[in-house]
Structure 1
Amino acid sequence: MSRFLFVTDLDNTFVGDDDALRELSQLLSKHRQEHGTKIVYATGRSPVLYEELKQERNLMEPDALVLSVGTEIYLDKRDTPDTDWSKKLSEGWNREVVLSKTAEFSELKPQPDTEQGQFKVSFFVEQSVAAGILPQLESSLSESGLDVKLIYSSGIDLDIVPSSSDKGQAMQFLREKWNFVSERTVACGDSGNDIALFAVGEERGILVGNARPELIQWHNENPVNHRYLAKNVCAGGIIEGLKYFGFL
């Protein structure tokens, strides 16, 4: 057994089955202590919502936090985002222009202030209208000279972030920082905003058994040997996948 980099989404992936979560947390904690494995939570949650979940589920302390869909990285329990990552995201990003352009679309309902960030503008968009307006919005933002991308997930959440920002690129940033090869890196997820974790390179991927339709569809349309669709749900599916890849 040797160390590996473990990166996981939280809601309905790491969290969702309390018994399996306890078992997985014990396994990971032991592996970190004995082999130097690094544990990263990569979630769409803001710092405020992450703290709520951490207290509610008594989550183990990670080595790094990737929050707000990859727009913020926190290292070593610090309460300010990593400056190297923030500097990388600032190129081609102008929050005021994003706000100006999105104001032209009445279908976009702003998410609470706690869910907005320096490099993230977030809305609720009903699935019934999303397919019609998102291409128009993307075109409008592009014509403004912004280098941004739209992440739509769970049939309601829209995040507008810098093109250089997502969970996958944040994972790559940490992988290189800590000198892990892709073969010793594993990512786990359940929804559309986790596709970035699975599409960035040849890191091992675990889709939990309760993965949402948009992720299953993408998985089926982009088959590779280094990705695994588990039968078990949430943390149970992660344990299954870690054993499949030989990490446990």
Structure 2
Amino acid sequence: MLHSDKIETKGQKVGMNMTEKSVIFFDIDGTLLNHDKQLPLSTREAIFKLKELGHIVAIATGRAPFMYEDLREELGINTYVSYNGQYVVLNGEVLHTNPLNIPSLEKLTEVALSNNYPVVFMDHEDMKANVPEHDFISESIASLKIEHFPSHDPNYYKGRELYQTLFFCPEGEEKPYEQEFKDFDFVRWHPLSVDILPKGGSKAKGIEKIVEKLRIPAERQFAFGDGLNDLEMLSSVQNSVAMGNAEDTVKAVAKYVTKSVEEDGILNGLQMVGLLEP
């Protein structure tokens, strides 16, 4: 379906010349992968068809690169925005990084630990927890259904660039930290966990680095997403598509709304915008 107040006046789907190269950015969780963290067959086939037509397929996710290496290999994707824009790779080469402020992070970690709230430090290769074990970490990470689980290294933040930190606390408990630590943005992704990111970083900023390098015009840029961390991306990319399973606030900023991930939403959305034939 389409947003009636935004595009129904056009009367039809976008008319695209499918021989022109476009770049399409896909979120992972709730967009490429369903709620069981499985890749629907229709999505897989649609991705390969896009590539066959000469389009550039990219990923834009809050995940770390090591959390979706298998998915990139399965789909043959080597251009991606990780950590909500803090680690950007184009054609297998690092294009842009935006690390966290370490002194501020060190102070936040001390305050969090005094309240029995753990953190997990993350760079492009691994993630390490500042405590040996904690129920909040176990429950949150388990929901991602990934093989990686953070081992214990409270000093992992020293001498390296970190692009994201996971802060584990119940909903609402992050508010005092948001007030005190202005270097960071706090984005909740689980009832017990919040992403800590450099202030002002977003998928949109990471995408901007890629499209500048590729020199693909705005009308040939597409993005699919479903989560709150997709708001900036769907607001800034000209041809934005919200999944049917997205929250209403996410649908409100997108140009199009497709079906849910469980109902072949990617295939439907690509047909809707004219990148694939029905």
- 2:277 pairs with 1:237: no
Change over 3 Å in CA distance of 1:40–1:235 after alignment to 2: farther
Change over 3 Å in CA distance of 1:167–1:175 after alignment to 2: same
- 2:41 pairs with 1:19: yes
In structure 1, the partner of 2:185 is 149
Change over 3 Å in CA distance of 1:68–1:151 after alignment to 2: same
Provide the rounded CA distance (Å) in 2 between the counterparts of 1:67 and 1:43.
5
Of 236, 240, 255, 1:227 maps to 255
After superposition, what is the alpha-carbon deviation per residue over 1:161-180, rounded to whole angstroms, capped at 9, x for unaligned? 11242211111121122112
In structure 1, the partner of 2:212 is 176
In structure 1, the partner of 2:133 is none
After superposition, what is the alpha-carbon deviation per residue over 1:26-66, rounded to whole angstroms, capped at 9, x for unaligned? 2212122xxxx221111222222122444xxx522224121
Change over 3 Å in CA distance of 1:52–1:3 after alignment to 2: closer
- 2:53 pairs with 1:31: yes
What's the offset of the Cα at 1:186? 0.9
Provide the rounded CA distance (Å) in 1 between the counterparts of 2:260 and 2:241.
11
Structure having the higher Rg: 2
Provide the rounded CA distance (Å) in 1 between the counterparts of 2:242 and 2:191.
18
Change over 3 Å in CA distance of 1:149–1:135 after alignment to 2: same
- 2:106 pairs with 1:75: no
What's the offset of the Cα at 1:196? 2.5
Provide the rounded CA distance (Å) in 2 between the counterparts of 1:167 and 1:229.
19
Q: Where do 4+ consecutive residues of structure 1 move more than 3 Å? A: 154-157
Amino acid aligned to 1:138 = E
What's the offset of the Cα at 1:188? 0.9
Change over 3 Å in CA distance of 1:229–1:22 after alignment to 2: same
Q: Which runs of 5+ in 2 are unaligned?
A: 1-17, 129-160
More helix by share: 1
CA contact (8 A) 1:45 1:115 kept: no
In structure 2, the partner of 1:189 is 225
Of 241, 254, 271, 1:206 maps to 241
Of 147, 170, 179, 1:139 maps to 179
CA contact (8 A) 1:188 1:208 kept: yes
What's the offset of the Cα at 1:10? 1.6
What's the offset of the Cα at 1:185? 1.0
Task: Please tell me the root mean square deviation across aligned C-alpha atoms, in Å.
Answer: 2.5
What's the offset of the Cα at 1:97? 1.6
What's the offset of the Cα at 1:18? 2.7
What's the offset of the Cα at 1:202? 4.5
What's the offset of the Cα at 1:72? 0.7
Indicate the SS of the match to 1:139: helix
Provide the rounded CA distance (Å) in 2 between the counterparts of 1:9 and 1:197.
10
Of 249, 253, 268, 1:218 maps to 249
CA contact (8 A) 1:15 1:235 kept: no
What's the offset of the Cα at 1:140? 0.6
Of 132, 148, 162, 2:198 maps to 162
Indicate the SS of the match to 1:246: coil
After superposition, what is the alpha-carbon deviation per residue over 1:158-210, rounded to whole angstroms, capped at 9, x for unaligned? 111112422111111211221122221111112222222113x2422112223
Of 81, 102, 107, 1:100 maps to 107
Change over 3 Å in CA distance of 1:153–1:243 after alignment to 2: same
Provide the rounded CA distance (Å) in 2 between the counterparts of 1:18 and 1:130.
31
CA contact (8 A) 2:226 2:245 kept: yes
Q: Percent identity?
A: 23
In structure 1, the partner of 2:119 is 110
For these two proteins, the number of residue pairs brought into alignment is 217
TM-score for the superposition, normalised by structure 2? 0.69
- 2:168 pairs with 1:124: yes
- 2:67 pairs with 1:49: yes
CA contact (8 A) 2:227 2:250 kept: no
Indicate the SS of the match to 2:84: coil
What's the offset of the Cα at 1:4? 1.1
